[in-house]
Structures are given as C-alpha cells and as structure tokens.
Amino acid sequence: MNYDGVLVIGDKDYGFVLDYGVKLLLTIVILLVGFWIIKKIVNAVKSVMTKRSVDPTLIPFLVSLISVTLKVLLLISVISYFGIPMTSFIALIGAAGLAIGMALSGTLQNFAGGVILLILKPFKVGDFIEAQGFMGVVNEIQIFNTILTTTDNKRVIIPNGGLSTGALVNYSAENTRRVDLVFGIGYGDDIDKAKAVINDVIGKCEKILKEPETFIGVVELADSSVNLVTRVWTNTPDYWDVFFYMQETVKKEFDKQGISIPFPQHDVHMIKE
C-alpha cells in the first residue's frame, strides 16, 4: 500500500512475500541438493561402465545423456513446484521433439546404430569384416559411421544404422579358420597319388594346424575333372598365407608328379560331305 509516497507493506503483501520467499528458498535448496545427487549418480554410472569395460568412446556420451536428462527432469519438477504451469510447455517440447525426430530420422537411426555397436561390440577396431557389400579392416567405430579400409586400400564409410541391423561377417572373431580349397585332376590320374601329394604339401607348411584334422576327399565328378576338396585349419591371421601357399605349391607338385589339372575344352570334329 502507498500513503503519500510512502510504501507500506500490509499483512496480505507481507504474507505473499513470505510465501514466495520461502518457496524461492526451498527451490534453491532443492536445486542444489538435486544437482549434488545427480553428480553422485552420474559418477556412479561412469564408474560402473568403466569397470564393465564399456567402450571408451561411448562412456562420455552416455554420461552426458544421463546428466542432461536428470537435470531437465529436475528443472521441470522445480518449476512445477514453484507454481508455473508446465502442461503447455511440455506439449510444446514434445511437438518440437517429434518434428526434429522426423527431420533427422536417418541421422538418429545411425546414431542409435552406433550406440548399439559400441555396446554389443559385434566387431572391434582391427577386425576384418564383410558388411553392406564391403569387405575390409575396421579402422574406426564412430557414433554415426564405421570406417573400413579395403584390401586394395580404399576408405569406406558405412552408416551405423544399416550396419547394426544388417547381416555382418566378422572374419576375425575366432582364433582359427578353415581354409577350403578344391583341386581338379584328370580322369586318367591316380586319386590316391594326388591325395598323397596334397598331404605332403600340407605337411611342409608350419602355419597349417595339426588339429582339427585335415580332410581331403572327392567332392565332385565334374565334366572335365575329378575335384578333390581340401580342408585345412590355420590361425586366423595366417589364412591368406596358407591359401596362396596351397594354391601355388600344389600346382607345382602336381606338375612334378605328372598329375594333370584339366581345364574346360571342346573337341570339334570336321565332317566332309
């Protein structure tokens, strides 16, 4: 109230100031305590993720996401407590979130795919994988994309959305791999002799494992050849060394032993009328 230029606070005004003053004080206390609790929760979550060997790339993002989410919820709760209606404000945030989500649907899909890849870890940096029509070594796993280097040194960037939902082959996941080869010999050649030659070649390669046992057998009686399938096991990093060694050395040994490797051919007979 105002009398002759002098401000006089009545009982109602005093009650109003006191009421909102107490609310303001409680709001500040709630905010301070809330931020302290949030900090403790975030630190605890970070500690748990570190102990469980969550990918270092993912930890800062998840920690920030949890922190921001909890702080937003705290602020909404405090504003509601202070008496400010939040219904329209929350509806506006929801509508804006929906619009942004639709506009960035592809980006958000890749983002979600990156989170899934970093959590589930179907492959890691350094693995040799095949996915989305590409094959190569994983150089980086980013939050939106995964970067491969192909065998001919091309850089391939694959969006994580399709990578997390599509079929994927990880050639580096297991310690050992089986090398499957097929050698064709002529119908007039000795099968047992050819098997012995292949076995001798296998025995000279230190990178071929003794266990699991090697297998050699006739897999097909083809049009021009008798095909012998050969299956040997090796450590995953030695796969291509063993593959190329077997292809070259078996051919050379077959030549020395007089075993032919047929190739498709046609006989043409000329008939004179």
Tell me what pLDDT residue 19 has.
64
Q: Does a structural domain hold residue 111? A: no
153 sits in the region (left: phi over 0; alpha: psi -120 to 50; else beta) called left
**Helices 105-120/58-81 angle, 10° precision:** 120
Is pTM beyond 0.85 here? Answer: no
- What are the tokens at 224? 């021009």
Average pLDDT (118-136) is 88
Rg for the chain (alpha carbons), in Å?
36
Instruction: Check whether residue 97 and residue 14 sit in a common domain.
Output: yes
Instruction: Check whether residue 23 and residue 65 sit in a common domain.
Output: yes
Tell me what pLDDT residue 205 has.
92
Tell me what pLDDT residue 95 has.
65
Instruction: Check whether residue 186 and residue 247 sit in a common domain.
Output: yes
Q: What is the CATH number of the domain that holds 49?
A: 1.10.287.1260
pLDDT of 5 > 60? The answer is: no
Looking at the structure of the chain, the number of domains it has is 3
Percent of the chain residues topping a pLDDT of 90: 38
Q: Which domain holds residue 218?
A: 176-257
Q: Does a structural domain hold residue 108? A: no
Q: Does a structural domain hold residue 43? A: yes
Tell me what pLDDT residue 86 has.
61
Of residues 133, 232, 136, the one with CA closest to residue 176: 232
> Which residue has better confidence, 266 or 159?
159
Q: Does a structural domain hold residue 84? A: yes
CA pair distance 113, 119, nearest whole angstrom: 10
Tell me what pLDDT residue 268 has.
72
> Which residue has better confidence, 19 or 181?
181
pLDDT tens digits, one per residue of 216-264: 999 999 888 999 999 999 999 999 999 999 999 999 999 999 998 887 7
Instruction: Check whether residue 16 and residue 88 sit in a common domain.
Output: yes
Tell me what pLDDT residue 129 has.
93
pLDDT tens digits, one per residue of 190-200: 999 999 999 99
Instruction: Check whether residue 217 and residue 248 sit in a common domain.
Output: yes
Of residues 61, 74, 64, the one with CA closest to residue 111: 61
